[in-house]
Amino acid sequence: MPLNLIDPKIHRHWRRYSAQMSLGAALIAATIASTVFVLFISPESESAQPIHALGGHTLAIIVGSALALVVDTGVGTEWITAAPVIFSVYAALGVGLTMFLMAATNTEHPPAAGTALAIVAHGFAWGSGGVRRAGRADRSGGSPGAPR
């Protein structure tokens, strides 16, 4: 049996995978760009302090990853397929919980909420160093929350 390094589905649906990859990268890039904007435009502001920038994004990664792992379970995928509004609930929960934890730990950094949203929206995988590069189309056949 030959070793297949590239999933055969990518050959059939390369346009979909490319679009989702660029969307995921754009969401993460937007949160990082927002952080850079805050750091350079108002370096004296409280949200530009290292504890806020690093702490906020760290909390967002933890919350987003935990919710993305729940979504990636069989039950989570079934719920999203059955009722696409469930995905919106997951996304709102990720952003809201991140905001609450940032306020509770005094690490408020507004762009970090986008990090949680990006990770919930595009999934999490240990092998790719965090955010899954091809989104969820590899298992569900479409974008998150899209009915089959």
For the stretch 24-73, pLDDT in tens is 667 777 888 889 999 999 999 998 999 999 999 999 999 998 988 887 77
**Residues 111, 33: Cα–Cα separation, whole Å:** 9
**Residues 104, 67: Cα–Cα separation, whole Å:** 19
Half-sphere exposure of 24 (CA within 13 A, CB side): 23
Residue 55: both structure tokens together: 């702490």
143 phi/psi in degrees, rounded to 5: -75, 160
Domain boundaries, the chain: 13-140
Residue 14: both structure tokens together: 């390369």
pTM attached to this predicted model: 0.67
**Residues 47, 51: Cα–Cα separation, whole Å:** 8
**Residues 120, 66: Cα–Cα separation, whole Å:** 9
For the stretch 97-143, pLDDT in tens is 999 999 999 999 999 999 998 888 877 665 544 444 334 444 444 44
